[in-house]
Amino acid sequence: MFYIGVDLGTSAVKLLLMEGNGKIEKIVSKEYALSFPHPGWSEQKPEDWWTQVVAGIKELTSEVDKSQVAGISFGGQMHGLVTLDADDNVIRPAILWNDGRTGKETEYLNNVIGKDKLSEYTANIAFAGFTAPKILWMQENEPDLWAKVAKIMLPKDYIAYKLSGSFCTDYSDASGMLLLDVKNRCWSEEMMDICKVSESQLPKLYESYEVVGTIKPEVASELGFTNDVKIIAGAGDNAAAAVGTGTVGEGKCNLSIGTSGTIFISSKNFTVDPANALHSFDHADGGYHLMGCMLSAASCNKWWMDEILKTKDYPAEQAGIKNLGENRVFYLPYLMGERSPHNNPDARAMFIGMSMDTTREDMTQAVLEGVAFGLRDSLEVARSQGIKIERSKICGGGAKSPLWQQIIASVMNLKLDILENEEGPGLGGAILAAVGCGMYASVEEACQAIVRVKETVEPDPELIRKYEERYQEFKKLYPTVKTLF
């Protein structure tokens, strides 16, 4: 049988076809537009997602026996606000995870409602990218549109709805809305009251590996599938990526170097970072996880290469970098503001430390190191709670660079396990589909059977020492310049 994983990303949807034994049959990617209507805003049309998902699934399954497709599941960009009216029409473009318009609403939630109350209700505080502040923004700024809202969804759940007709979400993705009681896995009555939403406007909650319905007959007909294809809830992209890298169960770690950057620590027990610098979310394996998220990771390098250096030859730009740990140029990686651990949507990127002998390679190296230092900030929060992490999986586009692997391993003093199949959320979605269809008894069992490590990058003792000095300098920069933002 075949299982489809749909990775609904920010710039494209990546679809993966997997056999039950974990063999990846085919991968297809379809891009869609990203809109920035005002500075700091970020939106997409859900209809574009659906169009490209349908086109992608057709291409994905064009050369296989479609009757063997058993299930479809998802990993999806988190936090986005998708609103439908009573007739299931999309009311406005989705407000995305990296949208920074909700400063006023975030401040209201954190300072008027209070961080202590939010943490009590949801295990988290408000961040500008979360869904609840977006709801408050829409109520304040688009009241006529808000009056039409019958269904509130997250991005991947719109695709699940179009496929199955099931108005659903999963606990991992819902954890990032600031509407979920994470500890007790239910909608928070207090947060629904604060945000003036009814439970009927919110989707039914499922574990990530649970079946939410079967494919609609008309969709099955268009795709050439049988009518009994199961649709499985899926997970937020980071939880799905963690499944795709085998970061499930107790005390595992995954670093994701994608558009955003995350450190993801899985646990069987519910814990909350006392300072709320890390998110405390439900995990796709039925447990919990702590997560630090920086809004710009590989996107920093993409911006530097594409927009500033005007090149697509990333390896060539990195080839001249030789003196790791000795760079005097620093880069603050806050192109879209920052979440963990600073929670400042107004933060911005900057270079500091240039001199007349600074080279192009120094600047490129500073970008790579700045992202690593930003991830280290979140790792230090976890370590301050007594969490001991000595190794981590690594995934995402940025993780394909051997130079960046070595920088991250040495900056964070972690052994980095490189995977045979580094397909993150797409593979995680396919694994969840296989579990939902009964191929495996649990997510952990599936990961043990499917996920394989091909090599390990060891941190270099000399670089650890050098980067420790650099990191201590980096730590001083944000507190020094934050009043400028």
Binding-site residue ranges? 78-79
What is d(CA 138, CA 81) in angstroms, rounded to the nearest whole number? 10
Q: Dihedral of CA 27/248/152/276: which sign?
A: negative
CA proximity to 424, closest of 398, 456, 445: 398
Q: Tell me how far CA of residue 94 lies from CA of 131, 177, 396, in angstroms.
A: 11, 14, 24
The three-state (H, E, C) secondary structure of the chain, written as one string: CEEEEEEECCCEEEEEEEECCCCEEEEEEEECCCECCCCCCCEECHHHHHHHHHHHHHHHCCCCCHHHEEEEEEEECCCCEEEECCCCCECCCEECCCCCCCHHHHHHHHHHHHHHHHHHHHCCCCCCCCHHHHHHHHHHHCHHHHCCCCEEECHHHHHHHHHHCCCEEEHHHHHHHCCEECCCCEECHHHHHHCCCCHHHCCEEECCCCEEEECCHHHHHHHCCCCCCEEECCEEHHHHHHHHCCCCCCCCEEEEECCCEEEEEEECCCCCCCCCCCEEEECCCCCEEEEEEECCCHHHHHHHHHHHCCCCCHHHHHHCCCCCCCCCCEEECCECEECCCCCECCCCCEEECCCCCCCHHHHHHHHHHHHHHHHHHHHHHHHHCCCCCCEEEEECHHHHCHHHHHHHHHHHCCEEEEECCCCHHHHHHHHHHHHHCCCCCCHHHHHHHHCCEEEEECCCHHHHHHHHHHHHHHHHHHHHHHHHC
Q: Tell me how far CA of residue 233 lies from CA of 19, 209, 464, in angstroms.
A: 19, 6, 41
Active site residues: 237
What is d(CA 144, CA 167) in angstroms, rounded to the nearest whole number? 23
Annotated binding site for substrate: 78-79
What is d(CA 249, CA 451) in angstroms, rounded to the nearest whole number? 14
